[in-house]
Structure 1
Amino acid sequence: MFVVSVVGLFVAPAAAAGVFLHATRTGSTRRIALLWAGGVGVVSFGGFLFAYSFGDVLHRLYLQQLRPVPVAASPYEGTALRVAVGSAISVLGVFLYRISRQYGLFGAD
C-alpha cells in the first residue's frame, strides 16, 4: 500500500509539469497554465488517494467481477490494481485537459 502513495507522489507532479509545459508552449497565459497544471495535479493525486483509500473495495470488486475464480490472490495483484486505478485517473485528467484545449471547453484559451 505504501507503493501506491509513493507512485502518486511522483506521477501527480509529472502530470502537472507536463500540462504546464504544454500550456505555456501553446500560448496560454501563465495564470491559465498554472490553473490547468494545478487542476491536473489535484485530479492525479486525488486518483491515487482514492485508490489508496478504497483499495480493499476495489480489490474485492476485482476478484468478484473481473476474476471470479481466483486460485490464489497475490499481494502484488492488489498493489498493481491500485496503481492502475490511480494511473487511469491521472490519464483521464490529462485527457480532459487535452480535449478542453482542442475544443475550447472549460474556459481554455
Structure 2
Amino acid sequence: MSDIQTPENGDDKGNTDAFNGAKLEFPITFHLKAVLDASLSNEEHIKNIEDTLNKLNIENKYLSCNVSSKGTYTSYHFEVTIISKSQMETMYDNIKKLSGFKFAL
C-alpha cells in the first residue's frame, strides 16, 4: 500500500483554498446551515435568520431545524439564492451578529 499524501485526505497544510481554484458562478442556490445556542426559542431564531436574509434581499426558504443531543444547540437549514460574492460575504457577516450564533456553513 502506498503512503501518498493528497489534498483530499487533509494533509495538504499549505492549501487554504477550499475550492482548489474553482470559481463560484452566481447566482448560486445552496443550503445554508446556521447553528445557534438555545438562548432564544426556535421561532425567534428562525424569524431572526429570515429577517436577516430578507433585509439583504436574499431569496430564502426555511427547510428544517435539528436540536443537538444535549439540547444546547440547534442547527437551522435554509435554501438560499445568492447573486454575488459580496452578497454572500454580507450575508455571513450579518448572520454572525445574530444572538446565540455559533457558526454557519
TM-score by length of 1: 0.37
- The structure that is helix-richer by fraction is 1
Higher strand share: 2
